[in-house]
A and B are shown apart, each in its own frame.
Chain A
């Protein structure tokens, strides 16, 4: 199938992370192992959430899969092909505001489509389609600064999806947003993925977020996988499932585990 065709199928990929290790030089000149022999598979259409405390190595792992960082050891494969450098088959939704402020909302999506090799005459229609997908169709002529943080995040998601990636990487995507907006966007991700079941690697420190979005949750601490649990809550997941015992059993267990792993124990008497 030729690139840029309107009807190209969103074919999701399978990610294999094999024995990934990475070392950084510390300020004092020592070597620090940020990731130590991580192996993890994400199946077609699966959403794996990686949770852990700040500095545990989860974002480093995502950056390696994105091709923005080179591991010291091990390989990552997408559909059997080794990952080298960034590529548009792996779309990344960053925590920070990454949309291009000098382009209008519609132009941002158009730029993503252009980078994806979509011919000019098809871009307009596609840009509208993806803006609609994230409910921004009325804001195509706005500049990003005129949108709220949550809307800019929606735009970032639209740009990534417009590129039709085989793997979606989300790096604490909703971290800087207010709580209600965050929950709203989690539901949005759920809706979009019900229509387009895209393999997703979702990094977050928020155990409730992980429980809501994930099929499977991996916990990393000090560069190693310390826990792996399946989230057997059926989809579609409405926002109300946050009130169920089933949901809390998982999120509370994860929180307990994270507290247990803390270096500094604090007790309230």
Chain B
């Protein structure tokens, strides 16, 4: 275990301790403040089994609680991944087309720039009206947000593509198609990986936003219901689930990215 891991574990332990100290102070302040920052004991013995209530109003128990957390996590993960795949593929495709075709670029790039400047959360209401407040609306909304990220990243990557290598390929006899597929495309792969890192972060945020407003399930839904019942302990548990999920997916993207771009200096 390297020092990096030791530091991370120490940081986590520090946060847990800090929370516990805050909770003890809150408990000494009376019943109301105790609810705001519950101790770890209360979180693990009362809040956690309480998630069972989401499974048809079951009484608190760990089995149903874990089922609720797991199934809702999978629902959110599914939305994020479908949105990422759809938005990513569409964004890479439009980015390449707009980036390489001067005429289309002149027409479409200004539109993309305007769309990019709209705060994504401002669009959610519109998407829910257009595509329904259910699964479809949320996924299309996530995909749209990520599509903009990918498109702008790819266009910029094409603009910054190394002219020397393009020229070298052309002097070796490459056709335009050879240059696109064998030179420009591999050169923008690192940008696609970087865009994916950014897009994944945004995807979690806007998936939650969509679930707050519209969904009947998912971690965002659990979070908003917990808020309505002042269940701070459950909110804390959902945050921890989120920390784990984002860490796992960031690690996967990072590992895949390192593998794919291992040729880079």
Contacts and interface: CB of A to CB of B under 8 A. Distances in A.
Given A87-B173, A112-B172, A160-B172, A94 B164 contact: yes
Nearest to A98: B168
A163 B168 CA distance: 12
Given A96-B164, A100-B165, A115-B178, A68 B264 contact: no
Contacts, number: 68
B263 A94 contact: no
Contact of A102 (B168, B172, B178, B186): B186
A145 B167 contact: no
Residues of B contacting A: mostly? helix
Contact of B263 (A66, A90, A96, A101): A101
A33 B30 CA distance: 85
B120 interface: no
A163 B263 contact: no
Contacts of B187: 102
Given A101-B265, A143-B263, A145-B263, A115 B164 contact: no
A91 interface: yes
A86 interface: yes
A88 B265 contact: no
B30 to A, nearest CB: 63
Interface residues of B, number: 20
Please indicate which of the listed interface residues A102, A112, A143, A156 has the most CB atoms of chain B within 10 Å of its own CB: A102
Contact of B173 (A68, A96, A116, A143): A116
B168 A111 contact: no
Size range of the chain A interface in the assembly: 20 to 34
B186 A88 contact: no
Contact of B171 (A68, A96, A97, A102): A68
A92 B168 contact: yes
Contacts of B174: 115
Contacts of A127: none
A111 B182 contact: yes
Which of B164, B170, B174, B264 has the most A CB atoms < 10 Å from its CB?
B170
B263 A159 contact: no
B223 to A, nearest CB: 42
Interface string A171-184: 00000000000000
A91 B183 contact: no
Interface string A97-130: 1111111000000011001110000000000000
B172 A100 contact: no
The 5 closest A-B pairs by CB, nearest first: A88-B173, A98-B168, A86-B170, A115-B173, A92-B171
Interface of A: 66-68, 86-88, 90-92, 94, 96-103, 111-112, 115-117, 143-145, 156, 159-160, 163, 169
